[in-house]
Amino acid sequence: MIRPESPIELSGPHAGGTYRFPPRIVDVDELLAFWTSVPISDEDCETFCANYKEYRDRQAGAASARYGEANPYPPAEKPSKKYADGVSPQVVEARRIWKEGRDLAVAEERKKDRTIYDVAARDLCRLRGLWENTWALSPDDRELLSRQMFVIGDGTQATLADFASRYGFENFGIAYNVKKRRAEEEAQRLARETAAATKDAAFWTKDSASYLGAINTNQVSQMNPY
């Protein structure tokens, strides 16, 4: 029976939902059941890995920028007869030390990079979805779930909060990089067309050579009565 004064719940665990468009779930057990069973495609796994890598590349770039801000790049000296460009041995050495320090700062940041193995990619997608959708839970349930231990495909065991921190779940999205995807598809299309054109060219070159060879031998000799 329709009751205008009673709101009809359109979301929830039984209303359907996908990895990219999950429902709002307020019960912690139902939320856990959804995210441990929702289908996750290979493309979703590939996108997760690509977005994580881009996030880590940004962090490495940020580390390089922070080093540069704290340690300005050694400028050239005033041009002289001996060093017209102002790059004396002292400047060269200073720049070598600067680059060494910058590379060390980036290397330190790179130590935080995590290898995502194939057997763990789908599990990490689930954990990220679980972590990002605890907003509808009560504070107590949210805190309880954050301390729940999980084991992923590569054998790594940690709490949900630890996985979120290690992989920076909150720092990158699950959406496809549309521009990148279109560029990749265009590159693949051009590669296919180039391969097909090369194959056709090879065929016609071979066929033409055979045809001309036949003319230069059999046909010509038949046409020449002497």
Cβ atoms of 99 and 56 within 8 Å: the answer is: no
pLDDT recorded at residue 62:
97
Produce one character per residue of 137-150: b if its CB has 16 or more CB atoms within 10 Å, e if not: beeebeeebeeeeb
Banded model confidence at residue 51, pLDDT cuts 50, 70, 90: very high
- The SS3 of residue 158 is strand
Average pLDDT over the chain, rounded to whole? 88
Between the CA of residue 175 and those of 96, 187, 201, what are the distances in Å? 41, 21, 41
- The SS3 of residue 149 is strand
Cβ atoms of 126 and 150 within 8 Å: the answer is: no
Separation CA 145–CA 139 (nearest Å) = 10
Q: What is the pTM of this model?
A: 0.73
- The SS3 of residue 6 is coil
> Which of 22-31, 36-45, 75-84 has the lowest average pLDDT?
75-84
Looking from the CA of 215 toward its CB, the CA atoms found within 13 Å total 6
Closest CA to 164 of 130, 135, 117: 130
Produce one character per residue of 6-41: b if its CB has 16 or more CB atoms within 10 Å, e if not: eeeeeebbeeebebeebbebeebeebbebbeebebe
pLDDT recorded at residue 219:
53
- The SS3 of residue 150 is strand
% pLDDT > 70, the chain: 86
Question: pLDDT (tens digit, 9 = 90+) per residue, 120-176?
Answer: 999 999 999 999 999 999 999 999 999 999 999 999 999 999 999 999 999 998 876
Highest mean pLDDT among 3-7, 108-112, 181-185, 219-223: 108-112
> Which of 137-146, 200-209, 213-222 has the lowest average pLDDT?
213-222
List CB contacts of 107: < 8 A, sequence separation 6 or more: none
Between the CA of residue 50 and those of 59, 67, 89, 147, 224, what are the distances in Å? 14, 26, 43, 27, 69
Banded model confidence at residue 223, pLDDT cuts 50, 70, 90: very low
Higher-scoring residue by pLDDT: 201, 145 = 145
